[in-house]
Structure 1
């Protein structure tokens, strides 16, 4: 017995006549009568009896009708859910994001939720190499990362380009508060925190090369792959850090003094990475479109 046979039978019971049921089902009367007879033969029992000009269900037919109504409703709900998921109207969207790119999420997620409220969003943090591996393993759909990026089997959509700034706590007196710029030589003489990825090349290596270019050795006192941890330490007054300004999105800028570095010719790019070898879900495409518009 197929779901279409149940639908045929339920429609005949509801209409009371084969002719009107066939019209409602957009089929001819003889094939519908044939399908009902096949259904009765398959189940080994009579399902309909003629009473005057109408067909009424037998006791077995009444049971099939009642359960059939429930079955068809559940089946139609499943079809709707699958279609909606395929169109990005519901389901789950899994987003990876390095902490230094969180600034891009709030407005995009707000707009996404307003348009597709039935899509559940999950966010996974990590460094670019961890997130690239998660995309490869289909654990997440898309990821926001900062360059340098892992390249294998990924498509990149660049969002913006930033240079690193030097941050220290606003309470510190290492550099005059009325200044807006600082040099690499001045930074090298002060305690410095470093954002250092667990794996691969990142801003740590780029900044280190910039110091090396000037013949300088930075005074690193602590390294971590977690920008939030490092900024908390900077905020406490233990040292400074060189990061893109967007990293401060989860902190109060009033707590920091921010300086442009005049002679650090380093830039990092924020990009959305997606798999290159397969299609992304419709929900992921919706998110991407909102992010880059």
Structure 2
């Protein structure tokens, strides 16, 4: 298979007719039809259903389209990367992260900049599982820091650390007087939790279920910052990753460990297995892993 033939095939699929596709590709319609037919002969498969006026895909054609899109995307990215490396050198790093990692990521960047001072860094907030997978698959980011294990054969998920989740209480809350709290202490409290689709929500609600407690959910949010601000105003309580408050500035709320339940989560590095990663990206990954392994090399 030639890359050019796959591009032609993808264009026919996305433009829905040979006429539109030929116009976009600046070739004649007969030439385009011949190319697609040759591709089918080469593969020994029927890719296009020609029984209708509009071009529709066979089952085999759908599979080829999906895989060809990935291949072309990867090919174009590698070609662009090689051209840029030749002209400018490795000058860009882009990655996505979850909110709680913002407490330690600047420390990694500081070390990274000592070696790659001229690198332009792009940082994206990537919170949900769908956002992580989409950003990696589309090559929007080189890597992602996430608290969700990704069950995808094209994405490698590397555990880097585990952290406890802790309760955040308003300043004048009665539970502040306790040395520690239990899940049962939170049963009737107005609760602030992440919206559906976030792994932290699942971790918290699972802990409640295991304790036989039904949380009184009053607010659903996307960011821990919002939840903590609401706690400060006495609107309820919430549960957040320990690192989020450990490295944050001092806030007028109280942090309490939850003693009778192992509420914790794992934070991962996620990368696309099929993507070429420049040396500077691999170095950034090593710095992250070394930071939590206690290794300075």
Q: Which residue of 1 aligns with 2:267?
A: 270
CA distance, structure 1, for counterparts of residue 150 and residue 277 of structure 2? 19
- Count of residues in Structure 1 that have an aligned counterpart in Structure 2: 207
TM-score, normalising length from structure 1?
A: 0.65
Tell me the SS of whatever aligns to 1:163. Answer: strand
Q: In structure 1, list runs of 5 or more residues that go unmatched.
A: 1-77
Q: Which residue of 1 aligns with 2:46?
A: none
Q: Which residue of 2 aligns with 1:70?
A: none
**Alpha-carbon shift at residue 126 of structure 1 (Å):** 2.0
Change (3 A) 1:228 1:176: closer
Q: Which residue of 1 aligns with 2:117?
A: 117
**Alpha-carbon shift at residue 84 of structure 1 (Å):** 6.3
CA distance, structure 1, for counterparts of residue 179 and residue 287 of structure 2? 34
Change (3 A) 1:262 1:92: same
**Alpha-carbon shift at residue 164 of structure 1 (Å):** 1.0
CA distance, structure 1, for counterparts of residue 267 and residue 87 of structure 2? 33
The 8 Å contact of residues 128 and 150 in structure 1, kept in 2 or not, is answered as no
Q: Which residue of 2 aligns with 1:239?
A: 236
Change (3 A) 1:253 1:180: farther
Name which one, 1 or 2, has greater alpha-carbon Rg. 1
Please give the per-residue CA displacement for 1:136-166, whole angstroms capped at 9, x wherever unaligned.
10001011111x3222121122121112111
**Alpha-carbon shift at residue 97 of structure 1 (Å):** 0.4
Please give the per-residue CA displacement for 1:241-270, whole angstroms capped at 9, x wherever unaligned.
112111226742342211111122232011
Tell me the SS of whatever aligns to 2:212. Answer: coil
Q: In structure 2, list runs of 5 or more residues that go unmatched.
A: 1-81, 291-297
Q: How large is the Cα RMSD of the aligned pairs?
A: 2.2
Please give the per-residue CA displacement for 1:54-100, whole angstroms capped at 9, x wherever unaligned.
xxxxxxxxxxxxxxxxxxxxxxxx99962763xxxx42100100112
Please give the per-residue CA displacement for 1:95-136, whole angstroms capped at 9, x wherever unaligned.
100112212311000111121011100000021420221011
**Counterparts of 1:29-178 in structure 2 under 5 Å?**
82=86, 85=89, 90-129=90-129, 130-146=131-147, 148-152=148-152, 153-169=154-170, 171-177=171-177
Tell me the SS of whatever aligns to 2:149. Answer: coil
The 8 Å contact of residues 196 and 203 in structure 1, kept in 2 or not, is answered as no
